[in-house]
Amino acid sequence: MEQLVIIGNGMAGVACLENILSHKHRFDITIFGDETHANYNRIMLSSVLAGEREADEITINGMDWYQKNGIGLRLGTRVIDVNTTLRTLTGEDGSVTRYDKLIFATGSSAFIPPMDGIYRRNVFTFRSMDDTNGMLRIAGPGKRAVIIGGGLLGLEAARGLQVRGCDVTVIHLVDTLMNNQLDSTAGDYVKEKMEAIGIKVLGGRRTKGLLGRDEVEAVELSDGERIPADLVVIAAGIRANSDLASRAGIQCNRGIIVNDYMETSDPRVFAVGECTEHRGETFGLVAPLFDQGKVLAATITGNRGPTFEGWAPAAKLKVMGVEVFSAGEFLETPGADVVRYEDPGSGVYKKLLVRNNRLAGCILVGDTTDSNRYMDWLRTGADLEVRRRNLLFPEPVTDKGSSIAEIPDNETVCGCMGVTKGRIIQVIHEKGICTMAQLKECTRASTGCGSCAGTCEGLLKAVAPDFVEEGKKVLCKCVPFSQDNLREIIFTQKLKSVQDVLEIYGDGIGCEICKPALSYLVDVVWCGDHEEDRSARFINDRVHANIQNDGTFSVIPRMRGGVTTPDELRKIADAADKYKVRTVKVTGSQRIDLLGVKKSDLPGIWADLGMPSGQGYAKGVRMVKTCVGTEFCRFGVQDAMTTGIELEKRLENLYTPHKTKLGVTGCPRNCAEVTVKDIGLVGQEGSWQVVVGGAAGKHVRKADLLITVETTDEAIEAALLFFQYYRENGNYLERTYDFVERFGIEKIRKETVYAQPKEKRILLRRLQKAKALSKDAWLDRENPTPTQFVQIQTIQSIMDTQVEATIQ
Amino acid sequence: MSAETTNWIRVTREENIPAREGRSVQIRDREIAIFNLGDRFAAIDAACPHRGGPLCDGIVTGNRAPSLDCGPVVGHAVVCPLHGWKVDLQTGDVLKPDVSVRVDTYDVRVSDDGVVEVAVPVAAQRSKKAA
Ligand code: SRM
Ligand SMILES: Cc1cc2nc3c(=O)[nH]c(=O)nc-3n(C[C@H](O)[C@H](O)[C@H](O)COP(=O)(O)OP(=O)(O)OC[C@H]3O[C@@H](n4cnc5c(N)ncnc54)[C@H](O)[C@@H]3O)c2cc1C
Ligand code: SF4
Ligand code: FES
């Protein structure tokens, strides 16, 4: 095996490695990364800063990926020396590693212009997860943030910090913002837009230094003005990390020099990513770097052939409401025609530079929908002669839906990941892809900034023979309709039982998938006023207990809010003794489980307990977990226990698409862990936050904020609105964490807490109706259906048959 | 099963086994699950060949030909509540997963006075007695 070592665990290096793995190779692979995080999507740091995503959502390849592929990962280890004669590299920890082939993928670092006092605390660059986390620790309402540099990164940092409540000022050396990508008119438009969202911009000002004791206190400009600052971000450009290579004797200029095969001056050493310089150009965006990765993977695995030809520089600003795109040349030069469109009222500015009927560059502000089209014209050198009349606007579309059909195959759909329409279509056909999730997994399209999701979905719809919009799949072969359809059918055809649906719209018998699902649907459509058919239910719902591996059952009585009494505990203890319960266990949901109860003992133990069913077996309301809150806790600001118990009373005995777990906590310390519950109430000074769609089971998802309200009544109402909306729209077996993602929190907000009062009343009324018809399932003990809990006893004594049999 | 080796046992009144559900009964050494399929009854061993799960507690489903997932429904099967093995109620064959294992099946009839009767092999009773 040859030893392949990669320095740099960033986007380009790992993307290249993914390509290497897809070739046949004989490498033993080790990767060094001086950051302590698994490979993540650096592009999305802006979204993490702005709170649009959580840090853990932007992982590209988690630890399991390295393990699965047998890659040695040396996280948190910086390589400090490379010896190309001995073919070794030395880590900061003193370790020495040999290589047969070496790839530099060291990326770039923030450029720090010469100025005084940069080593004060709370001064950041914006490059890594650590930088982002550092800023987030300090950012908050009332904090003053100063950004030095009005380029792409500076503006994205400014927006992120401003969303976090900071008072933000951007200082830029020249008058034009993003002057490496924009002309002065475009720069002015951007400035206006940034100011409109509340960010101060100081153009044409030079920073002299940073003032303060340990922590930064102000930024001093060369004209003497001082701008107070609690936090400073230096975003004055990037520099390729080529020092290490340069010291090892590898030819470098502004970056590590590579040829079209991504080879450096040393035959055993290669480079990829922002650390490279190719044909005199360095890079700052991922698309060309992914291209480089594909080429390098071919070169290094013995398939030398494909070449990297360079890309026109391009940039896109990811600030919501400030759309900016620029590619290629942007300053007017002799010999270039300027095609321009401007609408100051709506803040749209577009400029194309055309030379010899070929696009040389473009700037788009305020409307960037056509950026991919221009990017492709640039890359392919398309002849624009016949298009001259329609350069600024897409050619008129003749029929609906054809705009996707009109995209040429070689046009890039996903700019971040460099995925073309042709590639997507090819993969859809080859791999039989039919959902967005599969498409993302196979092509990486739409996993960068995500702005191409609409186009990708359109393509899927148009091309995939069995395209399934998430959640629109048919229930099963027995009743081939989607659940949305079935709800409609059940309602309009007035079908009240599972068997009715199966007989009219299905195969008359059904299966283990559709029967429980239909049981739920008839219940929710008729708000509980349906004909219950036990045979369509899973055994747990026939006997209201959870079946165990030995055929016995567990019994979890309801213990609202996790609050109990000595009397209840005594009854539980007595019942456990009487029925010889194998184990008594406190569950993860703040209640008590009696495990190993015989089916025939269930009615008896329920009667002895005298407590309602905790629905621990059902796709229904499990518990409302609470903390002690104001009643005891010195930090409590809301009464979590009372509120939790009230919420549980309002919802218990109802069924939901999948189990529903709730929580109420008395302050943001969140001792009841409600931000990972299906519905959570977070108490705050003078208000409640209602959060939904959290999870901490198979995977972890932080709940989305539904609304913040002042009173406890309003908080409970918001929870009920969401609860009923989920009941009515969720697919059977869809937890809220999937439901909220499928619907989108915006839509859910609009149709629940921000809905018209009349719509809210209707939702709540249906919930009340269902609640009124619901009952404690354990009351079945009073008149069970024949033989519901007992084994059948033969009429004829077996002894008789014995005799009979012997005689025969 | 031929008349010589089986014995009809009167088990229970038909209404004790609700439509589309199963119930188990102990007949000597055998625990047998009897299912009410609406127009007829079926009986198989109650213990799932996987890990002994109670087949009588499973959901009754259709059984499609030629393979499991397409074609018209040709009969009934039951899905074990523990891990989802699917057993044919006519032949006793395990249909899912694809393993060649089967459970014993028994003839069932309803007597004129509405009692479900199951044919249990005599040999089995003897062997139990001998054991
Ligand atoms: C008893 C209990 C474990 C305990 O001893 O604490 C438990 C036991 C089971 N859990 Fe759980 N879960 C229990 C708390 C949890 C929790 C913690 C919590 O509720 O705070 C979670 C994580 C939160 C969540 O719900 O996501 C949890 C996540 C799961 C999951 C994964 C759900 C997911 O979509 O991520 C399953 C599987 C499923 O539902 O598909 C599951 C399924 C099961 C089942 C029902 C599996 C089954 O179908 O047989 C287990 C039944 C065991 C038995 O034989 O009775 N259990 N389970 C807990 C009962 C709580 C209660 O009082 O009702
Ligand atoms: C906030 C932000 C927003 C961005 N937005 C966009 C965007 O919208 N679109 C776009 O296309 N691009 C964007 N980019 C740029 C994009 O992230 C980079 O082009 C890309 O990450 C470069 O990949 P790389 O692998 O070359 O470098 P990196 O991803 O930086 O990876 C290099 C890795 O090597 C490590 N390393 C360096 N030296 C050593 C050493 N000696 N030993 C061990 N490890 C070392 C570094 O710590 C780093 O982890 C953005 C960048 C940032 C910071
Ligand atoms: S969440 Fe707050 S109120 Fe509740 S127990 Fe914890 S610290 Fe106290
Ligand atoms: S015991 Fe029946 S499927 Fe496992």
pLDDT digit string (tens) for A692-718?
Answer: 999 999 889 999 988 888 899 999 999
**B2 pLDDT above the threshold of 80:** no
How many angstroms does the Cα of residue A597 sit away from the middle of ligand 1? 18
Q: What pLDDT digit, counting tens, does each position of B87-97 carry? A: 999 999 999 88
| Yes or no, beta carbons of A535 and B60 under 8 Å apart | yes
Ligand positioned closest to the Cα atom of B86: 4
Q: Are B7 and B118 in contact (CB under 8 A)?
A: no
Reply yes or no on whether the pLDDT at A670 is more than 50.
Answer: yes
Average pLDDT, chain B: 86
| Count of domains observed in chain B | 1
Structural domain spans, chain A: 2-110+240-300, 123-236, 329-395, 397-468, 483-537, 621-775
When pLDDT is averaged across residues A287-307 and rounded to a whole number, the result is 95
- The reply to whether B131 falls in a domain is no
Decide if B130 is inside a domain: no
Q: Tell me the shortest Cα–Cα distance from A159 to chain B, in angstroms.
A: 51
Query: What is the average pLDDT across B116-130?
Result: 67
More confident site: A38 or A29: A29
* pLDDT surpassing 80 at residue A257: yes
For residue A413, pLDDT beyond 90: no
Please report which confidence band the pLDDT of residue A682 belongs to, taking 50, 70 and 90 as the band edges: very high
- Of A19, A30, A35, A42, best ligand 2 pocket probe by most atoms within 8 Å of the beta carbon: A42
Using the beta-carbon criterion (under 8 Å), do B73 and A793 form an inter-chain contact? no
Kindly indicate the confidence band of residue A395, based on its pLDDT and cuts at 50, 70 and 90: low
pLDDT of the residue at A530: 95
CATH code at position B48: 2.102.10.10
pLDDT for the residue numbered B1: 45
Mean pLDDT, residues B121-126: 61
Report yes or no on B40 lying in a domain: yes
For A170, list phi and psi in degrees, rounded to 5: -110, 130
Which of B61, B117, B125, B127 best tests the A interface by mutation, with the highest count of A CBs <10 A?
A: B61
Check pocket membership of A315 for ligand 2, CB cut-off 6 A: no
Q: Which residue has the higher pLDDT, B23 or B71?
A: B23
- In 3-state terms, chain A is what percent helix, strand and coil (to 5)? 35, 25, 40
Indicate whether B87 belongs to any domain.
Answer: yes
Report the residue from A512, A787, A791 with minimal CB separation from B79: A512
Instruction: Nearest by CB to B16, from A507, A510, A786: name it.
Output: A786
**What is the value of ipTM here, to two decimals?**
0.74
Give yes or no for residue B131 having a pLDDT over 60. Answer: no
Q: Which of A275, A238, A59, A277 is nearest to A152 (CA)?
A: A238
DSSP element (H, E) containing A316: strand A314-319
- Residue B129, pLDDT > 50, answer no
Q: Give the range among A118-127, A261-270, B67-76 with minimum mean pLDDT.
A: B67-76
Mean residue pLDDT across chain A:
91
- How far CA A271 is from CA of A198, A211, A290, A691, A725, in Å, comes to 42, 40, 12, 46, 53
The percent of residues above 90 in pLDDT, for chain B, comes to 69
| Residue A566: CA count within 13 A, CB half-sphere | 0
Domain containing residue B99? 6-124
Question: Of A208-217, A447-456, A695-704, which gets the smallest average pLDDT?
Answer: A447-456
The answer to whether residue B1 sits within a structural domain is no
* Residue count (chain B): 131
Q: Compute, in angstroms, the gap from residue A564 CA to the centroid of ligand 1.
A: 21
pLDDT at A453 over 80: no
Q: Comparing A162-171, A263-272, A506-515, B122-131, which segment has the lowest mean pLDDT? A: B122-131
In a domain, B129, yes or no: no
What's the pLDDT score for residue A396? Answer: 55
- Three-state secondary structure along A228-290? ECCEEEECCCEEECCHHHHHCCCCECCCEEECCCCECCCCCEEECCCCEEECCECCCCHHHHH
> By C-alpha distance, which of A373, A262, A380 is closest to A312?
A380
Specify the amino acid at residue A138: I
* The pLDDT value given to residue A786: 78
A794 touches B: beta carbon within 8 Å: yes
Chain A: nearest CA to B84, how far in angstroms? 9
pLDDT score, position A54: 78
Q: Which of residues 68-107 of B touch A (CB under 8 A)?
A: 69-70, 72-73, 76, 79, 81-82, 84
Higher pLDDT: A390 or B65? It is A390
According to the model, what pLDDT value does residue A805 have? 45
d(CA A364, CA A344) in angstroms, rounded, equals 13
Residues 6+ apart with CB under 8 A from A307: A260, A261, A295
Contacts of B125 in chain A (CB under 8 A): 801-802, 805
**Inter-chain CB proximity A511 and B62 less than 8 Å:** yes
Confidence bin at A456 (pLDDT 50/70/90): confident
Looking at ligand 1, which residue's alpha carbon is closest to its atom 62? A589
Does the structure show a pLDDT above 60 at A804? no
> What distance in angstroms lies between residue B54's CA and the mean position of ligand 4's atoms?
8
Residue with more model confidence, B72 or A206: A206
CATH 3.50.50.60 is held by the domain A2-110+240-300? yes
Q: Which residues of B touch A540 (CB under 8 A)?
A: 81
Structure tokens at A635: 């930090």
Q: In the predicted model, is pLDDT for residue A597 greater than 60?
A: yes
Radius of gyration of chain B (CA): 15
- CA of B56, nearest ligand number: 4
Which distant-in-sequence residues (6+ apart) come within 8 Å of B29 by Cβ? B124, B125, B127, B128, B131
Q: How high is the pLDDT of residue A132?
A: 96
Using a pLDDT cut of 70, give the percent of chain A over it: 96
Tokens of A565: 């009494």
Lowest-pLDDT range, A220-229, A441-450, A527-536, B89-98?
A: A441-450
Ligand nearest to the CA of A50: 2
Distance A106 CA to ligand 2 centre (A): 8
Residue bearing the bigger pLDDT, B58 or A785:
B58
Q: Can you give the pLDDT at residue A165? A: 79
Give B106's strand partners. Answer: B43
List the single residue in A with minimal CA-CA distance to B19: A535
CATH number of A397-468: 1.10.10.1100
The CATH T-level fold of domain A621-775 is Sulfite Reductase Hemoprotein; domain 1 (3.30.413)
For the segment(s) A123-236, the CATH number from 3.40.50.2300, 3.60.15.10, 3.50.50.60, 3.40.50.300 is 3.50.50.60
Write down the pLDDT at residue B73: 79
pLDDT tens-digit series, residues A478-529: 898 999 999 999 999 999 999 999 999 988 999 999 999 999 999 999 999 9
pLDDT digits (tens, 9 = 90+) for A722-774: 999 999 999 999 999 999 988 888 789 888 998 888 889 999 999 999 999 99
Please name which of A706, A711, A651, A700 lies closest in space to residue A680, comparing C-alpha atoms: A706
Is the CB of B73 less than 8 angstroms away from the CB of A542? no
A398 pLDDT higher than 80: no
Q: Do A2-110+240-300 and A123-236 share a fold? A: yes
Tokens (6 digits) for A603: 């009615």
A329-395, what's its fold?
A: Enolase-like; domain 1 (3.30.390)
Mean predicted confidence (pLDDT) in A77-106 = 96
CA-based nearest residue to A725, from A715, A739, A737, A713: A739
**pLDDT band for position A440 (50/70/90)?**
confident
Provide mean pLDDT across the span A239-257: 97
